[in-house]
Structure 1
C-alpha cells in the first residue's frame, strides 16, 4: 500500500482544479498545467481535496498510485510557487551570461556554448559563475538544468565543470611519482 498515494491533495485558494474523466487541469497565478491519470488509478475531487485511488484489479495500479498523486501535487505547487534549480560554474575562465533570452557560457572549449531554453522556462545568470533555471513544470526545469550541466560535467580531479548548488563531487587523488 502506497503511503504517498493515500494522502489527499489539498487545493489552495487561488488555484482552480478541473477534472474531466481521467484528465486533470490545474490553473493558478503562475500558469496552467494538465495531466492525464493512468487507467490504473482514478481521481475524486470534492471539498477542495483530490483523492487518488487504485482501480480494482488493475495490473500495475499500486505502481501508478503514488506517481499519479505526486504528479498532481507537483502541478499544484508549480502553478502557485514554481520550481527553481541553481547551477554553479567552477573553473578558471568558466563564465555564463545572458544574450537576450539565450544563455551563453564559456566552459573551456574553443567556442562559446549557447543554450536557448524551451517555452515556459526562464534562465537567469545573476553572477558570472551561477545560473538559475525556473519554471512551473518540475520535470522540465530538472531536464533543462541537466542539459546545461551536461555541457561540462564536473570532473573528479580538479572539480571543474557545471554542478548543481550543493552537489558534492568526490575528488580523486592524482597520479604519484
Structure 2
C-alpha cells in the first residue's frame, strides 16, 4: 500500500467530512470544499480520523493522492492557506480597487486582475500582496498568475517574487 495512503488524516474540531458515493466534501469555519471520489477507493471516518484503502492494487497510488488532497482540504477549511508576494523595482506598486488587484509593473498600462471566488487579496503595503483562501490549489494558482505578469529577472532581481524566494543573480556582461 502507498505510504501516504496508510497515514490517517486527523479532523480538527469544527471540521465535518461528508462522504458520498462519488464525492467527498469538507466543511469548516473557513468554508466548504469538495473533491470527486474515484470508484474503488474506500474512505472511512471514525474517532476524528479519516483512513483510506483500496482493494485494487492499481488504485493504491490514487488512494495516496486522494489522501493528500483531502489533508489539504481539511487544513484549508480549518486554518486556510496564504501566499505572500513582493514587488521589487522602482515604481512597482500594487493596490486594491474593490475586489480587483491593480498592478503598476513598469508597463505602459496598469495590469488589473480580478480575484477568483473564494480568494481574498490584501495589500498591506504598496510592495506586498497577500493572497488567502481555503483552497490551496486556487491560492497557489492565482499567486503564480500574478508572478507570471512580471517574473523576477536575473540581473537586478526586479519583478514579482514570492516572499522568501531567492533569485539567483547573473553577472553583467563585461566590455
Does the TM-score normalized on the shorter chain lie above 0.5? yes
Give the aligned CA root-mean-square deviation in angstroms. Answer: 1.2
Deviation digits for residues 91-121 of structure 1 (CA, Å, limit 9, x no counterpart): 0110101111111011010111111111110
Instruction: State the 1:63 CA deviation.
Output: 2.4
Deviation digits for residues 50-95 of structure 1 (CA, Å, limit 9, x no counterpart): 10112324x3x23212211011111111111100000000001101
Quote the Cα distance in structure 1 between the aligned partners of 2:88 and 2:168. Answer: 14
Quote the Cα distance in structure 2 between the aligned partners of 1:155 and 1:54. Answer: 47
Quote the Cα distance in structure 2 between the aligned partners of 1:113 and 1:71. Answer: 32
Give the equivalent residue in structure 1 for 2:87.
89
SS at match of 1:73: helix
Unmatched 5+ stretches in structure 1? none
- Conservation of the 8 A alpha-carbon contact between 2:26 and 2:34: yes
Give the equivalent residue in structure 2 for 1:52.
52
- Conservation of the 8 A alpha-carbon contact between 1:22 and 1:42: no
Q: Do residues 78 (structure 1) and 76 (structure 2) align?
A: yes
Aligned residues: 175
Q: Do residues 4 (structure 1) and 7 (structure 2) align?
A: no
Segments ≥4 residues shifted beyond 6 Å: none
| Higher fraction of helix | 2
- Conservation of the 8 A alpha-carbon contact between 1:156 and 1:170: yes
Quote the Cα distance in structure 1 between the aligned partners of 2:95 and 2:63. Answer: 42
Give the equivalent residue in structure 1 for 2:169.
171
Deviation digits for residues 11-42 of structure 1 (CA, Å, limit 9, x no counterpart): 11111111112421111111111112223522
**What is the correspondence of 1:85-164 to structure 2 with a 5 Å cutoff?**
85-164=83-162
Unmatched 5+ stretches in structure 2? none
Give the equivalent residue in structure 2 for 1:18.
18
